[in-house]
Amino acid sequence: MTELETQKDHLISILQDQTVVRARDLRSEGIAASTVARAVKTGDIIKIDRGLYQLQNGQVHEEQALAEVSKRVPNGTICMMSALAFHGVTDQIPAKTWVAIGPKDWAPKITYPPIRFVRFQKKYLHYGIEFHMIGGVKVPVYSISKTLADAFRNPKLLDRSVAIEAMKNALEARKVTPSGIAEAASVCGAWKKIRPYLEAITSNG
């Protein structure tokens, strides 16, 4: 077996494990740029964006996309629909990864993974952040309670029916408590909007 074949095998193995890999990470693994270029030319892997590669038949798992977004937008936090999907309280799969940034933060132009930026006021930006390890990356994601507060505060961004259903699912699965939702809503300026729905759901329960 030649060194080139050994590098190609290593390249394929990495992409099988990590789904999407950056060129600089491949270099750190000792894989030459020529090996990567040859694998692209032969169709073994595909270049999905500048410096990003995946297997020809590979699929980007949603959580892997969150990890990649976190690396590319270090000042962002996974929010809204993407946060609800990550926490498993909605069946809807967002076409883009929702990322919250500050009102004056720079929004980098990224073609992959597709991103939808949401600008939060500073008083709402840093509350309710949780960190989850995804593919070896520490990814900031808003908590369920914080995300519900954001959803009710911004009805133009997320349909109210989606927010209500997510709240029902979260409460039924005991992933949140009514008091936790109420606290986050109070802190994030959404209590008046969320209160009647929360009281209706809990009274029916």
Which CATH code is given to the segment(s) 3-55?
1.10.10
What are the strands, taking DSSP E only, across the chain?
Answer: 21-22, 45-49, 52-55, 77-78, 97-101, 115-119, 129-134, 137-142
The β-bridge relationship of strands 45-49 and 137-142 is: unpaired
At residue 150, the pLDDT reads 97
Name the stretches of the chain with pLDDT < 70.
Answer: 1-5, 18-19, 49, 56-62, 204-205
At residue 2, the pLDDT reads 52
Residues contacting 59, CB < 8 A, separation 6+: 19
At residue 58, the pLDDT reads 55
Tell me the domain boundaries of the chain: 3-55, 62-204
At residue 95, the pLDDT reads 84
